[in-house]
Amino acid sequence: MAMAGTWVEAEFETIFREHFERIVRITRRVLRSDAEAEEVCSDTFLKLYRSGPGVQAGGTVGAWLYRVATRASIDRLRKSKRRGLEEELDQETGGEVRNDFQDPLNRMMRSERIAEVRSVLARLKPEKAQLLLLRHSGLSYQEIAAAMQIKAASVGTKLARAEAEFLSHYEKQHSLSKRAPRLGTPVKEG
């Protein structure tokens, strides 16, 4: 068992092994590469280690890790948007690659959809983006409630609101991008 303020190495290693891969998968959905996702996760675990075993303030360590990692991912995504960095698709970002993604046109279209989703996530309030990320990463309502430090009974309502806001922003962005001609696309005069 950990003494007040310090970790027992075996205890910390167990927590790391139990949560690292799943947290990397969650952060990878937001960020554009495995390297960035692993960096955010490493920073999260370093923060946990330096803070000591009492950092989770009455919750579970896993919930604390999910909350900190998803918030850090969203912050990093917003920072890259502010700097105007171009979105690029990492082959491994989307998880399993199916054969239809080998076609260059399908890869390009998929890359555009991923960039649109990331752009909308960056515009949402962090709490709403976190809710969506955690739910779509496979966490249960109880796990989301623990990670977000909210009541389990309110997760469904908050998720529904977050999804509605996401969809509204996404549709607005999508309709605007369809109206404006893209660079290199000939404009018909008539």
- Could you report the per-residue pLDDT of 43-87, keeping only the tens digit for each? 999 999 888 877 665 568 888 898 899 889 888 887 776 555 444
Q: How confident is the model at residue 153 (pLDDT cuts 50, 70, 90)?
A: very high
At residue 119, what are phi and psi to the nearest 5 degrees?
A: -65, -45
Q: Which two tokens stand for residue 145?
A: 């409630």
Cα distance between residue 189 and residue 99, in whole Å: 39
Radius of gyration of the chain (CA): 19
Q: How far is CA 15 from CA 41, 83, 136, 148, in A?
A: 13, 35, 23, 19
As a whole number of angstroms, the distance between CA 67 and CA 26 comes to 11
- 126-136 vs 9-30: helix crossing angle, rounded to 10: 100
The proportion of the chain whose per-residue pLDDT surpasses 90, expressed as a percent, equals 20
Q: How confident is the model at residue 100 (pLDDT cuts 50, 70, 90)?
A: very low
Please name the residue ranges forming H helices in 52-103: 61-82
Contact present, 38 and 47 (Cβ < 8 Å)? no
Q: Is the pLDDT of residue 102 over 70?
A: no
C-beta of residue 155 within 8 angstroms of C-beta of residue 145: yes
**Residue pLDDT, tens place only, 112-148:** 887 888 888 888 898 998 898 888 888 888 888 888 8
Which one-letter DSSP state was computed for residue 95? S
CA distance 111 to 108: 5
Q: Where are the domains of the chain?
A: 9-93+100-178
- Is the pLDDT assigned to residue 14 strictly greater than 50? yes
3 state SS of 13? helix
CA distances from 78 to 46, 129, 151 (A): 22, 11, 27
Q: Report d(CA 54, CA 7) in Å as an integer.
A: 10
- Give the CA distances from residue 141 to residues 58, 120, 146, 163, in Å, rounded to whole numbers and listed in that order: 18, 23, 9, 15
